[in-house]
Structure 1
Amino acid sequence: MSIDTAKGVLGDATVAELEAGLRGTVVRPGDADYDQARTVWNAAHDKHPALIVRCAGTADVMRAVEFARSQDLLVAVRGGAHSIAGFSTCDDGIVIDLSPMKGAMVDPVRRRVIAQTGLTWGDLDHETQAFGLAVTGGLVSSTGIAGFTLGGGVGWLLRRHGLASDNVTAAEVVTADGRVVRADPRENAELFWALRGGGGNFGVVTSLEYQLHPVGPQVLAGLIVYPLEQARQVVTGWRELTGGMPDELTTLVNLTTAPPLPFLPPEVHGTRIVVLAGMYAGDPAAGEAAVGPLRTLGTPLADLMGPMPYIGMQSLLDPLWTAGAHNYFTSAFIEPSDAALDAVLRRHLTTPTPASELHLHHLGGAFARVPADSTAFSQRDPSVLCNVITRSPDATGFDRSVAWARAAREEIARHGRGTMYVNFTGDAAEDKVRAAYPDAVHERLVRVKDTYDPTNLFRLNQNIRPSNAA
């Protein structure tokens, strides 16, 4: 059976020739596993690709890229498939699915790991924690390492060890012409610069090499929950504390709705609350002095801050962020002035669903000490990143939730420079790309795009269009 695409028809013989050159598999519409294979974590994106190529290794990725180019197919690249903005799937085109590629080679002496990009953070943490090592990973362990890292990578080790992208020491990339190149500080150095914050614009990254750091296996981490009526004093008190926090301590404020969890009083379930979450990436005993003041900002409803496995903190939020819901994330880098915090607190009172949240991530530390021109993630000055998140169990009312998130972001962003975090831009739109990169950085990214993807084959991302694109 031939496959109709936006560009024409793929004949059986053409697809069979592709499949014959693979170690992995091809999934087509009509196959028994097609619906499972096309589904992504974020159910807001329900697409029907013409082909899904499940790659077993780099050679399969090369073959898939060559096939996509020869057939003029739209290309989506999938790693962990969280797909907040829908980039890891498409209608009619080809999905290059890296999820079978889960190899990880840890060198505990050099403190390095070479990780294939089908890994999730849960997978990678499992491998590196066997040696008491880690790198900044996602706040939900099912997040793929690749998209997270290429856009920056904000996590619990940010203030101690920087972004995930700051810890990349090399990458293997299949470029738009089907070549495999290595990017590191000496080889393809401009590509290496662009990959660390420039997203998936420049090729299919098949492996990442990270610098690892001694972390865990036990850390001081967890949550402290406060009631809504104490929100202002908690948030302003947290702001004051951030000025003296050691780099080992990374915290965020989560303005959310209390889930029906057993550690919260039943009368609180379903009400708005304030959660302080954090991790001390050092000796847990030494961390008690650092986290102690967080416990005194009000009268906690629950205090779950204490020693726990690093992997436990990395997966702590997983039960609240399972696949299959409709999700929309957006963001703004801000300074937490009284007016900014007022805006955040007002928006908290209007959240449209119980899973709609506002996060205030404390930045600084190692994140801020990275020279702004050393990576494509150049926004090192702001002290807080505000993420606005909305989530609905299905499509009912989701448009209203997205409108709330966009309006909240616009109001809150006025208390910064209007800039945003490229991984949490929500939409594929030119203005979102320009809000993520200063002009000089964007111009440099265009030059790298011109070199490695001049026809914009890889455009399902926060797209850096090549200079000859219409």
Structure 2
Amino acid sequence: MLIAQCRTAGDVQTAVKLAVARDLPIAIRGGGHNVVGHAVCNDGVMIDLSLMRGVTVDASARVAKVQGGALWRDVDVATQEHGLATPGGLISDTEVAGLTLSGGIGWLRAQHGLSIDNLNAADVVVADGTLIHTTADENPELLWALLGGGGNFGVVVQFEFALHPIGPEVMFAAPIYLVEDGPEPIRAWRDFLVKHGDRVGSLCEFSTAAGEDFPKKHWGKRVFTLACVYNGDAAEGEALLQPLRELGEMSTDFSGRMNYCDVQQFFDTLMPAGDFRCYWKARYLTDLTDEMIDLALANAMAAPSDNSLSSLWNFGGTTAKVAADATAFGDRSMGWMYSLDRVWSNPGDDEANIAWSREGWANSERFGHHGRAYLNFAGHGEDNAALTRTSFGPNYDRLVEIKTKYDLQNRFRFNQNIAPET
């Protein structure tokens, strides 16, 4: 494998042209956060964007221009200097490119949608080495494909995001309850979000209590966190979210008004870069029924690794208002998502952890939303073709046409691949 560490769009063009001249496939490394290994390839060219992390903010226009190798912490720090933000991920060392191109689900989705819903423009090096600027008016079909279609269409060397007034202080609620105490807090949380999901981005995350932040008597026990960020005034959010902190005896409570950047980094310690072996898989749910909640609790109790996570995410608000054909991402009518995020250390435990995730995935199928999945969490790509086609639904054929136009030889195929017409 040849690694091209690029500093400019021109460097990326040179690397792509080299790959074409030698008839080699191309892998793209943004921040290296994806666990599938799509950033590397055998007998090909890796385009490494990790040196391209610049962020430029135009506060008056409420726009940020972000280079293709930037991490979300780079964006958050730069935009918060102006009291602005755009929807990003929940882990600050997630790369902007990978998260955005497959949708981008973060804390601000209730008021401001997914990351793609805030992508106004992009500069893309396509498979023949051409640098293309794309907006709603200029090369619009390429921008449409980037809004959820993944890394299939080229190397995005710059993103342009819309920004919104957020922070510096936001209300973050994180009451933590014991799994063994039963599902009632989760059911109350679900009902609360049905009423307030247009203002609250939230997830119920299952994990294991450990460390001084928890009572010693709870160490090693399975817990769940009802994590919420109010998408608005912190004081207003504190009052609204208070009932979630009164659903029974808590193990502990991390709730409070916080700096937005601190909230964006709150979960970083759960997924330290490069420390663990991982397998992540997530499916959309039509509804969050009592039966699905019971299944999620049972799966959490049976997890083979104390480091592993699983979670239930809400949708609604601005995210749900986008038409299915407005972005490549597709249908927004799913109400929830179930994610199984296996994390472990010992290679000898690979089989047990991956099997646990796949079993949980299979058992939750009956609650799924037309078989669709969040393609940023797609396992290790073992069912790539079928899962990709199903997840894009009616948008798939249009994506194939655009892929054929911009990447006929499928140079960019290390992803949830959309194959060109042959």
Does TM-score exceed 0.5, indicating one fold?
A: yes
SS of the residue 1:375 aligns to: coil
2:399 corresponding residue in structure 1: 445
Q: TM-score, normalised by structure 1?
A: 0.87
Q: Distance in 2 between matches of 1:435 and 1:407?
A: 20
Q: 1:425 aligns with which of 378, 401, 405?
A: 378
Q: Distance in 2 between matches of 1:222 and 1:119?
A: 28
Contact 2:284 2:336 in 1 (8 A): yes
1:200 aligns with 2:151: yes
Shift of 1:449: 0.3
Aligned residue type for 1:437:
F
**Residues 283-341 of structure 1: CA deviation (Å, up to 9, x unaligned):** 11111222011112221111211111000000011122112211110011111112222
1:454 aligns with 2:405: no
Q: Distance in 2 between matches of 1:141 and 1:420?
A: 23
Q: Distance in 1 between matches of 2:144 and 2:204?
A: 31
Query: Counterparts of 1:9-408 in structure 2 under 5 Å?
Result: 50-245=1-196, 247-260=198-211, 262-324=212-274, 325-334=276-285, 335-408=287-360
Contact 1:202 1:453 in 2 (8 A): yes
SS of the residue 1:414 aligns to: helix
Q: Distance in 2 between matches of 1:289 and 1:195?
A: 38
Q: Distance in 1 between matches of 2:3 and 2:184?
A: 51
Contact 2:323 2:331 in 1 (8 A): no
**Residues 61-105 of structure 1: CA deviation (Å, up to 9, x unaligned):** 000000011112221101010122211112232110001011211
Contact 1:231 1:274 in 2 (8 A): no
Q: Distance in 2 between matches of 1:339 and 1:92?
A: 47
Aligned residue type for 1:383:
G
Percent identity (aligned) = 39
Aligned residue type for 1:322:
P
SS of the residue 1:435 aligns to: helix
**Residues 30-63 of structure 1: CA deviation (Å, up to 9, x unaligned):** xxxxxxxxxxxxxxxxxxxx21111011000000
Shift of 1:234: 1.3
**Residues 188-209 of structure 1: CA deviation (Å, up to 9, x unaligned):** 1111111010000000000100
SS of the residue 1:286 aligns to: helix
Gaps of 5+ in 2: none
Aligned residue type for 1:467:
E
| CA RMSD after TM alignment | 1.1
Contact 1:117 1:146 in 2 (8 A): yes
Aligned residue type for 1:454:
L
SS of the residue 1:397 aligns to: helix
Q: Which runs of 4+ in 1 moved over 4 A?
A: none
1:467 corresponding residue in structure 2: 421
Contact 1:82 1:144 in 2 (8 A): yes
1:42 corresponding residue in structure 2: none
Contact 2:66 2:160 in 1 (8 A): yes
Contact 1:140 1:317 in 2 (8 A): yes
Contact 2:179 2:297 in 1 (8 A): no
SS of the residue 1:147 aligns to: helix
The structure showing larger relative contact order (alpha-carbon pairs under 8 Å, at least 6 residues apart) is 2
Aligned residue type for 1:192:
L
Q: Distance in 2 between matches of 1:54 and 1:215?
A: 34
Gaps of 5+ in 1: 1-49
Q: Distance in 1 between matches of 2:156 and 2:145?
A: 12
Shift in alpha-carbon separation, 1:359–1:246, aligned structure 2, 3 A: closer
How many residues align? The count is 417
Contact 2:197 2:316 in 1 (8 A): no
**Residues 221-245 of structure 1: CA deviation (Å, up to 9, x unaligned):** 1421101223311111111111111
Shift of 1:435: 3.2
Aligned residue type for 2:261:
I
Aligned residue type for 1:425:
A
The structure whose Rg is larger is 1
SS of the residue 1:210 aligns to: strand
**Residues 227-268 of structure 1: CA deviation (Å, up to 9, x unaligned):** 1223311111111111111522111101111132x2210121
Q: TM-score, normalised by structure 2?
A: 0.97
Aligned residue type for 2:392:
Y
Contact 2:110 2:231 in 1 (8 A): no
2:390 corresponding residue in structure 1: 435
